[in-house]
Amino acid sequence: MTGTLARLIRSSADRPTGGPEERCDLCSEPVAADHRHLYDTGREEALCACQACSLLFAEKEAGDGHYRLIRRRRLRLPPVETGPLGVPVGLAFFVPRADGTVSAHYPSPAGATRWEVDPAAWREAVARCNDLASVAPEVEALLVNTARELRHHWIVPVDDCYRLVALVRREWRGLSGGGRVWPAVEQFFTELTERP
């Protein structure tokens, strides 16, 4: 994980809110708090985008362009069996790539840990949950939380995944996370709402 989202994760964990104004990574214009992101396929990173740049690349959302607008769709799924995907923890997200590979990530106090998913295991997961076939490469992810009693399975924009990584990094205390991280994670999932 590099680029703008990595900086956002580090900065949200290290500084209080109300910091310097964020800017568009393409044209340097100020961006709103709820700004969109573009995925740079060449550098494999997400970039902050102002409204004008978001609109410029909106037509390329489903295309093969160098910059792809990160979707805003959120879809709650029935339980997805993630054990065969090699998930060592109950909180993880899976990002399909345009080349057919899938990278898995889990939030930690040091950021997101990444590994590659076995392609056959991902195909089996898609066969069991047809909605996974619609996950847009690089810009959407399967987000799973089975770490506590409540179970969550979502298709979300990758922005949401990195917001969760930032939250875990900011709230984690000690070796096991302390008393703040898991209530904050549950609150994060409680606030997710479906949107087309």
- Is 70 exceeded by the pLDDT of residue 61? no
- CA distance linking residue 99 with residue 107, whole number of Å: 24
**pLDDT score at 45:** 83
Say how many residues make up the chain. Answer: 196
Q: Computed from CA positions of residues 8, 11, 16, 22, in that sequence, does the dihedral angle turn out positive or negative? A: negative
**pLDDT score at 57:** 85
pLDDT, average across residues 8-25: 61
- Is 90 exceeded by the pLDDT of residue 42? no
Give me the residue label for tokens 């345009």. 98
How many percent of the chain have pLDDT more than 70?
Answer: 87
Question: Which DSSP state fits 131?
Answer: G
Task: Look at residue 18 and give its three-state secondary structure.
Answer: coil
Give me the residue label for tokens 């590099």. 2
**pLDDT score at 19:** 52
**pLDDT score at 11:** 47
Confidence of residue 44 (pLDDT cuts 50, 70, 90): confident
**pLDDT score at 7:** 52
Confidence of residue 174 (pLDDT cuts 50, 70, 90): very high
pLDDT higher at 60 or 102: 102
- CA distance linking residue 119 with residue 153, whole number of Å: 20
**pLDDT score at 170:** 96
Residue-wise pLDDT for 73-124, tens only, equals 999 999 999 989 988 889 999 999 989 999 999 999 999 999 999 999 999 9
Please choose, from the candidates 135, 188, 163, 194, the residue with its C-alpha nearest in 3D space to the C-alpha of residue 37.
163
pLDDT higher at 149 or 182: 182
Confidence of residue 12 (pLDDT cuts 50, 70, 90): very low
